[in-house]
Structures are given as structure tokens and as C-alpha cells.
Structure 1
């Protein structure tokens, strides 16, 4: 286990935590309601890219400098803050106090626009940014230059093997109890969609019927040209072979970030494991209305699952964020898709 302490005075600022992969929804802006905590209690993740202020507009940065920073298509602005921010659940933070003059937000809480808004109680050093405004996942982002890692009490959480994930799938249903689509699914599919388009090389793809088709087919048919399918998308991972795949949709381990290895020549597209597991193994409750019903004489004591009232839409912001960081977006056909979605983000299929 790890705890994070103030660089200046050494005060411990977190409960003991174990590292996991950065959740795919970490950069998501979703809806207009309060979202839950981004991180599970007792965990932390690291943002590898620069984050936070100062920000520079695309017109100031230019394409050449942006590409050197791993961004290959125009974005509104680029962060020139330090890389390596550490995110924890708000409930795992200790020994901090709000910096009141840095507590601005858009609607219902704090959005971090003014930079670090939490200070170490012991010495007053600014150490973190709390985020809890509407549309944003609740989190505390520790400034990498203001904290240091120390050994914490207790053993680290064991890494769950692929076999265990297969035996007891850790899955996130596509529809929430309210009947709304899951924001985790919107983010995960948005990120995978960007990579799937890049792997398609601009040719039509065929996706298998069932949950994968319900999630990906509509948007792929809208963005890619019609014609004879050149590449098959296949779910590959624990218990499923990539045989015959032109594009293998594989799980990404929730703790390590490891992508399921695939042998052969298939293009590999990672998908958050909790979404992949549901697509691969949970077929008894479809996320769309279907015909038929319960046989006569059969009674149930639980309510039927909620069904959404609109088609599934990937998160366009996560899609654009991911696509802008793929070198393939420099190809004219893919750049056209990027520009199209950027200019009209709420047009179908988003």
C-alpha cells in the first residue's frame, strides 16, 4: 500500500491506497447531474499526460509543437501543467483544507478552474485539486510536484488474474437503474471507437450480431463508407479466441492497464474490461426493447430491467480526445471524421 505525503512538511495526506489503471471516464464531462466518485475507495491512478493550468490555445501552440506533445489534430487548448497527477477518491484524503479563493465552479461545486484548491493543514502548501461540480466525476487530484509517495500500512491489493476476471466477471451494465445509459459505457465505447476507426483504415467493418452490434454498428455504419466489409470485428479475450479477426476488440485490465495479448495479424483495439466482460458474457438482458415476454404461469418478484428511451451514443468528447492523440488522424479520411464530429458534436450518431 501507498500513502501520499506533503513534500514540504511530510504530513500524510491520504489513506493507504493501491494503484490501478486510470479509468477511461477520468476526463469525461457527462450530463448535468452530480456524478459519483471516479475512484474506488483505497485506490489511486496516475494521469500520464500534462494536466491543469497553465493552458495554451491551439493557435499559440501550432501543429508541430502539438505533435511533439502527442496531439495530432487541432484541439481548443493544451495543458502545460506537469504530467503525473495522482487521482484518489475524495474520502481517502486526509489533513487538507479548502483554499477558499480557489473554489470557483460552474454549477453545483468545484471544477478546478483556478488550480489547486486544497492545502496541507500542517504547513499551508497547496497540494491538490478537488473536483465535485455537476457533469464531472468527483475526485481529488494530487499535484505531483507537491506530494511524495511513502509506504503505507498493509499489503497491496492482489492483482486479479485474467482467469479470475473470466470466472467472476467484473462488469458494468449498459443501463443504469434510472433507465439512462451508463456514462462509463459512453466513455469506454467512445475511446474504443476512435481506435477501431483508425484500425479500419477507412474501409467498412463487420461487427457480430448481439450486444456488440447494438453498441457499435450504428455509429460505424454512419462514419464509414458503405460497401463490402473488409475487416471483421471479433471479441477476443479470456475464453474467446481471436480466430478470423481483422480487428480484435479485447479487454484492458482494470488494475494494471494491460491489454489482452492477441497473436496473429489482427489489429488490437482495447476496451475497458468492465464493458468488455458484459459484451462478451452477459446476453440475457438486452439494452433495447425486444418482443415476447414471460411465459404464462411464471411470476417474478423483481422489476424488469429499465430500458433507455433513446439509442446508445458514444461520448463524443472522449472520442475526440482519443482520436486527436492517434497518429492515424493525420490521414485525410480520418481527419474529415474528426472535423465533422468536432464541428457538429451532437449530430447523429453522437
Structure 2
């Protein structure tokens, strides 16, 4: 495990933390709603892409300079902010104090608009940006040039692995406790269709029957065309063999530790990465009946005297920002057949 310390005076700024993949939903929340911490305790992740100010207009930057910033289709403005920002849970922050004059927000917290707002208590240097306003996951973003990473001296915690995806506790339920759709699912189903658009060349797709079609179908219908000669989509990953015949596109989980998509032995297969917790739910055991008071149920028999899993009355709506921002960061969006997605007037 590691700790991050102030690059100026050496004061420790975090509890011991271990690196994991940056969550898919990091930048996508629900407006006018308070969110929990993004990161699990004792973990950190790194945003490799540039984020935040300074911003430059696309017309001033040009296509090639924007591509070097990881943006491959026209947008209003391109970030030239720092790469390599480190995100931790607010509860893992140590030895910092808020800079009060830099704590503006919308209405329910701090949104980071004024830049770095916690300072090191050792030397007063601004070292991070705290964000906890509505619509944002609660985070502390450490400035990469203001901190240094050091060994904590504690044993290294086991890193998340693909085997963790098979554990029931890794599954993310599609419905929140209040009965609304999961914000994490909304983000995941904004990101996945963007990858499907590029993977299929904007062709129609057919989804496998069951929870994939039930939950992902509305998102796909909103983002992809319908018509003849569709591309088939299937699920595959750890413990889930590739279907036969092999679908044209495989929905696979991201590695919980690295964020890299799982790949089958046939490296030529076209894969679309999916939030690991969402994928684990889609591939987990289906509906199961409670055990009767006495005896057992015959194999394959389900009781029908208990409620089915809760579902909101409206379809699961993909996060629009997640779709747009993912799509413009995929190099494949430059292909001629996807030209229609490159215009600002496309109905995203």
C-alpha cells in the first residue's frame, strides 16, 4: 500500500491506499442529487486523460491537437488540464484544510470551480480539489505535481482480480434503495452504447434475451439504428464462455484492478467493455426461489408466491453525457461511416 505526501514539505496527505481501476461512472452523476463517495475506502485511482481547466475552443485547437488530448470528434472545448490526477475517498484524506475562499459550489456543496481548495497543513500549499456538490460523486482529487507517492510500510493489499467478478458481492443492483434506477447503471449504459457504435460501425444489433435485452435494450434503441442485417451481441468473461456460434460483438467486463477489458483466447474478437459490477449482475444467477420451510424444490422449479425484483415504471435511461464524452474519445469515431456522429447537431 502507498501513501501520498506533499511534494513541498513531505507531510502525509492520505491514509494507506491501494490502486484500483478508475470507475466508469467517475464523471457522471445525477443533477440535484447528493452522491456517496466515488472510491471505496483505502483505494485510489488515476485519471490518465487531461481534465479540467484550462479549456480551449475546438475551432482554435484543431483536429490533430485535439487528438493529442484524447478528443477525436468536434466538441465545444477541449481540456488542456493536467493528466494523472489521483482520486481518493474524502475519508482517506489527511493533514489538509479547506481554503475557504475557494469553496464555491452550486447549492449543496463544493464543485471545484475555483480550482484546488484543500491545502497541506504543513506548508499551506494547495494540493487537491475537494468535490461534493450535487450531481458529483464525493471525491478528493490530488494534484499530480503537488504530491509524491511513497510506500506506506504496510503489507500490500491483494489487488482486485477478475476472479472477484464471480463473487455475488461484486454485483451492482440496477435499482437504488429508493426505487429509482442506479446512477452507476445509467453511466455504464451511456458508455457501453458509445463503444457499440464504433465496434459495429453504427449497424443495428440484436441483444441476447433475458436481462441484457430487458435492461440494455432501451439504451441501444436510443443510440443505434434499427434495420436489416444486425450484428449479434453476447456476454462473455471470467466463468462465462463465449457463446456458440460466436456473436459478432462480446460484452465483457473491465478488470477491477486495471480497467482493461477481458479478452477471449481469440484475440480477433470484437469486445465492448462494461462496468464490472454491472456485467457481474447480468451474468450472475437469475431469479431464485426461497427455500421452502420443509423439504426442497424440484430442480428448475420456482415459487410464484413472492414478489419479482423491483423495476421502476420507466425504462433505464442512459446518461447522455457519458455517451457523448465516451464517443468523442474513441479514435474509431473518425471512420467515414460514423461521420454522422461527428456533427454537433447529431441527436445524442
What is the TM-score of this pair, normalised by structure 2? Answer: 0.89
Larger deviation, residues 330-339 vs 264-273: 330-339
Q: Residues of 2 paired with 1:199 and 1:343: CA distance?
A: 19
2:278 equivalent among 268, 271, 275: 275
Match of 2:332 in 1: 328
Tell me how far 1:305 sits from its aligned partner.
4.5
Match of 2:249 in 1: 247
Structure 2 residues without counterparts, runs of 5 or longer: 289-301
Q: Is the 8 A contact 1:208 1:233 kept in 2?
A: yes
Tell me how far 1:43 sits from its aligned partner.
0.3
Q: Residues of 2 paired with 1:76 and 1:124: CA distance?
A: 36
CA deviation map 1:135-158 (0-9, x unaligned): 000000000000000111322221
Q: Is the 8 A contact 1:320 1:338 kept in 2?
A: no
Q: Residues of 2 paired with 1:27 and 1:258: CA distance?
A: 18
Tell me how far 1:159 sits from its aligned partner.
2.4
Residue 150 of structure 1 aligns to a residue whose secondary structure is strand
Match of 1:314 in 2: 318
Larger deviation, residues 2-11 vs 70-79: 70-79
Alignment of 1:1-350 (within 5 A): 1-168=1-168, 170-243=170-243, 244-264=246-266, 265-284=268-287, 295=304, 305-337=309-341, 339=343, 344=347
Residue 175 of structure 1 aligns to a residue whose secondary structure is coil
CA deviation map 1:183-205 (0-9, x unaligned): 11111121111111111112221
Q: Residues of 2 paired with 1:37 and 1:212: CA distance?
A: 28
Distance 1:238 1:173, change over 3 A: same
Match of 1:288 in 2: none
Tell me how far 1:256 sits from its aligned partner.
2.2
Q: Residues of 2 paired with 1:207 and 1:59: CA distance?
A: 39
Distance 1:217 1:332, change over 3 A: farther
Q: Residues of 1 paired with 2:247 and 2:158: CA distance?
A: 32
Distance 1:338 1:179, change over 3 A: farther
Q: Is the 8 A contact 1:12 1:95 kept in 2?
A: yes
Residue 148 of structure 1 aligns to a residue whose secondary structure is strand
Structure 1 residues without counterparts, runs of 5 or longer: 286-292, 346-350
Q: Residues of 1 paired with 2:168 and 2:108: CA distance?
A: 38
Q: Residues of 2 paired with 1:273 and 1:307: CA distance?
A: 21
CA deviation map 1:271-304 (0-9, x unaligned): 111000101114328xxxxxxx964xx5x6xx86
Residue 65 of structure 1 aligns to a residue whose secondary structure is helix
Tell me how far 1:52 sits from its aligned partner.
2.5
Tell me how far 1:161 sits from its aligned partner.
3.6
Q: Is the 8 A contact 2:37 2:139 kept in 1?
A: yes
Distance 1:231 1:154, change over 3 A: same
Match of 1:290 in 2: none
Q: Is the 8 A contact 1:15 1:94 kept in 2?
A: yes
